Every structure is written in structure tokens, then in C-alpha cells.
Structure 1
Amino acid sequence: MSFLRYSGPSYTLIILILLMHVLSSASGKRHLVYWNSTNTRLTSDDFSVEVNLNDYLDILCPYYPSGPPEQGPPETLALYLVTGHKFQGCRETEGAIKRWECNSPYSAYGPVRFSEKIQRFTPFSLGFEFLPGHHYYYSSLSMDDGPPLPCMKLKVTVSTTTTGKKEQGQGTPAPHSFAQSRRTSAVSVLALTSFSLFCFL
């Protein structure tokens, strides 16, 4: 194939950049949180997750695979990143950053998933930057067309070390909110990238 003949510094640089990106993603853990009112950990006052840089926080929205719930309308909500002193109550506050809206409870492709990468620097305008040793607070509010919901909140602590507690599947997989936690295999990714590097060089 023609691409096997390509070589040179530019292709080597491209492959090395891709390799660094893939390996940094592979080293991160995924912390899964089912965000709905049946998850009693969210409605308690002490639900927290410890993460490391390059980890992912995966939020799964309320989901109804069998159609509308028997009692009342489906849960729809907006998730906010709030400051610590405004974390105690789930109410609209000045300075809160709206991160996502869970407004597709009947999605054809399963529960809507939002992923927050825990990183110090982000190239995206909608991304958020996290610092080791700091705490970050998420809370939610019901959407205007949704039912009243209990106060659901989560404290995220960014570890100052390179290894932290492994937390997967946080919360209860409620009847209308399910998914599996994923973790990228660093070995398979490294093998695939090495093969690509061999082909280009």
C-alpha cells in the first residue's frame, strides 16, 4: 500500500502526538454516576468521588426505555457546577455554571451520557479546568417542564497523587438509568498504536 512508503519527521511527529494522546486517555479511570432521584447516594449529604487528573466523570441522565413512567412525567434536569458555600441547597444561584441538561429521557440510543475530563488545561471553550487538591461541587435543578425533584449533589475531589481510589458504578442502576462502566485497555491501545507507527515508518 502507498502509505507504507511514507516516512519522515512530520509523520513521526504526528504518530508520537497521537500515541501520547491515546496513552493519556488510556491511563485515566472512568467514574460512573447514575444521576436520577432513585440514586439515594446523590440525595445524601456526603456523596463524594476522588479522582485523578486524566480521569473521566461520566454522568448518566434519567432514562425510560419502556416509555413514560407510571407516576408523573419523566425526570428532566440541569446539572450545575457550583461553589462550595452554595453547595448545601439545590437552588439557582448566581455564578453557578450550567454543565449539561438532561432533557432526553426517551433517547433512542440509551441513556444520555455526559463526560467531564478531569484535566488541568482544556483546549475547548466549554471545557473546565481542574486543580489537584481542590474540591468541585455538582448539583441539579429540575427543568421547567419536569417534576419536582429532591436535592441531588456530588462532591468531586481531585487527588494530589497519581493514584487514587478506584470508584466505578457510583450509585444505583435505577430501572430508568443503566449503563456499564468502561475502562480503556492500555495494552491493546499501545499495541494498535505501535502497529500504526511501524506502518508509517
Structure 2
Amino acid sequence: MPGSEGACREPIALALTGASGVHYGLRLLECLLAADECVWLMLSKAAQVVIGLETDWQLPGRPADVHAALVERFACSPRQLRVFGREEWTAPPASGSARCRAMVVCPCTTGTLAAIAQGMSDSLIERAADVMLKEQRQLLLVVREMPFSVIHLENMLRLARAGALIMPASPGFYHRPQRVEDLVDYVVARVLDHLQVTHALLPRWGEEENA
């Protein structure tokens, strides 16, 4: 049940960056918390700006205040969610010894993509992604840009070769979406599948015919 106080599995790190499409990241966060997952959340400064532009929601600046606002909004247990500052270098995601089974950057800007591809680690988000690669853990990058330049494509190829999974925010239409939310759920469902998190966001191909 959402909001339970029991222990959950090893956490999933979720980073929201400043690409358009912040609804993908917020919906993913909502679904992970509803599935009783523990989430380590990181927000870039640009992500907080985009949240204000693309939603009717204004997140506070301090991580503790962001935590309180999200716990209230998603009615989850405070223990399920940790929010880290952009330069909180002592945070668990910055170390390979911390227990973290996967990381998702959603949405992922091409700037963040480039920094991760080059191993820059100038922010906690970039360092956390670098940790996932060096520890050979699951790293999913939901890139949101169009069109892609040769630079973007080369960075994606480099990261794919390093073990990251590139998941551009490209919703399908075979489920006949009726609302924008249906398109968001399509992308979020594919991410949840790769995280092995159970969901019922959309019918699976062929299941309705078999039923």
C-alpha cells in the first residue's frame, strides 16, 4: 500500500533535468512511490524552472522543503523518498558503495547527456550517473530533444557502449491515446518495465487479443 512504513527494495535514483517534458519525470516519480519503491531524487536548477513553466506547480528551493511538498502531493511515506541537493557530495548516490539498484534521468537534457558521456561529474546528478556506469548498474536516460545533432547521437552511442540504456521520450500510438496523459504513461510504462516495477499503465501488445 502506498505510504506504508515497511522496508522497500534497494532504492532507485531519479534525476530530473531541464529538458521540456518534466511530466515524464513527475509521473515516473508518482508511479515509483505508488509501487512502494524507495526513491533518491535529484533535481537540476533548470528542472525546477521547467516544472514552474510546464505545470501549475512551484517547487521550493531547499531539498527538505521539496521532500515535504512531494510527500504531501503523492501521499507516500516520508521514508520512501530522499531529496538531495545539487552539490551534496556526501549523498549516497555519489558513492559506488551505496546501495542503489538503478538510476533514471527523466527527462534528460542533451547537456546532461554530454556531461555523463564525458565523465564530467560537475554536479551530483552527473556523478551519480558516473557511479552507475563504473559499477555496471542500470542507467536509463530518457532523452528529450528533437532533432538530434551528430554530437547528440555520438554521445548516445558512447553511453550505450558504456552500458547505459538510451530511451528517447518517443511515445507510441497503438494503444490509441485519448489524452496527453496517455502519451506520458506510455513512456513511463516502458521505463518501469526496464526497472522491473509492476504497473498497469497501458495494455501490453497482444494481451487484449489473448484475453
Do these two structures clear the TM 0.5 threshold for a shared fold by scoring above it?
no
The structure having more radius of gyration, on CA atoms, is 1
Which structure shows the bigger proportion of residues in helix conformation? Answer: 2
Which structure shows the bigger proportion of residues in strand conformation? Answer: 1
Bigger relative contact order, structure 1 or 2 (CA pairs below 8 A, ≥6 apart) = 1
- When normalised by structure 1's length, the TM-score is 0.25
